[in-house]
Structure 1
Amino acid sequence: MNNIKLLFVWTLLLTSSQFYAQHKPDKDKIKSLKIAFITERLALSSKEAQAFWPVYNEYEEKREAMREREHTQIREKIRNSENLSEKEAAELIKHYLRFEEEEEELDKNFLESIGKVIPAKKTLLLLRSEYEFKKQLLKQYRHNKG
């Protein structure tokens, strides 16, 4: 039964990623694929899932907001760094380091929070599953683009 579910998730992932290569990526569909992938990999009990998803979704929302902020406040300026004065460049580096610290703190708080709702082994499996999902999505994107 688990093999059938896993096959379904992988098929969905691969066929959907082909769709994304042809059209502008739809964040909601990628998010749905990621949820299905994580759900399958972690095999959460209903009690675990009830506690897990609100914590995970809150983390993902905060992380996305941080990425948007980083993109607008830091990455754009780095791309145009040749137009910055030395003082502005030094301030931008300080700002970047503060962002990195905030991101690390967010990750630390998430791991502490999620550790209260799922066992440590499933937390490690979550980290591995997120990595594998990204890797598979990028692999499929490169394959379709290549």
Structure 2
Amino acid sequence: MNKFIITIFLLVTTLSFGQRNQDWEKINTLKVAFITEKLSLNTKEAQEFWPVYNEYQEKRNALRKKGHQEIKSKIKDADALTEKEAQKLLALHMQIEEEEEALDNSFLKNVSTVISAKKTLLLLRSEEEFKRQLMKQYRQNKGGK
């Protein structure tokens, strides 16, 4: 675990705007290693788990991108929207939120058939731990500059 924290720290200290895609690839690589270690996935489990997880992540990212493009960019100018435009935007936001929730529920059902329910819960915890560690290192790095 400590080697992951050190690696995350080193990665966050070297993040630069010009290399965002490479940086996200590095973060995802660390996340894969972190989750694999936390879940103690054996070879068979890993072969079945990662395709399901990666497909979920792709769909989740697509929904986030859709939300950002169609909603968040327009919310900045909310004062300029008519009431009708605002209602339409709010309805779209709620629709995307419902799609995300349905996607999350579907993923949890699917993944718990590939790995145990206990490992599925460990996955949820591990994702949160990874995010916390990443943010902690980012804040420490940002404060040190």
Please indicate, yes or no, whether the TM-score normalized by the shorter chain is above 0.5: yes
Counting aligned pairs with the same residue, the percent is 53
User: After TM superposition, where is structure 1 displaced by more than 3 Å over at least 4 residues in a row?
Assistant: none
Contact 2:39-2:123 at 8 Å conserved across structures? yes
| TM-score normalised over the length of structure 2 | 0.92
Q: CA RMSD for the aligned pairs? A: 1.0
Alignment of 1:64-143 (within 5 A): 64-143=61-140
- The letter for the 1-side match of 2:141 is N
Q: CA deviation at 1:98?
A: 0.4
- The letter for the 2-side match of 1:7 is N
Contact 2:5-2:133 at 8 Å conserved across structures? no
- The letter for the 2-side match of 1:133 is F
What is the DSSP-based 3-state SS (H/G/I as helix, E as strand, rest coil) of the residue aligned with 1:44? Answer: coil
1:29 corresponds to which residue? 26
Inter-partner Cα distance in structure 1 for 2:69 and 2:52: 26
The Cα offsets for residues 31-51 of structure 1, whole Å up to 9 and x where unpaired, read as: 111111111111101110010
- The letter for the 1-side match of 2:27 is I
- The letter for the 2-side match of 1:99 is I
> Structure 1: where are the runs of 5+ without partners?
1-5
Tell me which of 48, 51, 73 is aligned to 1:51.
48
1:63 corresponds to which residue? 60
Q: CA deviation at 1:11?
A: 2.0
> Structure 2: where are the runs of 5+ without partners?
none
Corresponding pairs, count: 139
The Cα offsets for residues 39-64 of structure 1, whole Å up to 9 and x where unpaired, read as: 11111011100100000000011111
1:8 corresponds to which residue? 3
Q: CA deviation at 1:9?
A: 2.2
| TM-score normalised over the length of structure 1 | 0.91
- The letter for the 2-side match of 1:10 is I
Inter-partner Cα distance in structure 2 for 1:80 and 1:138: 29
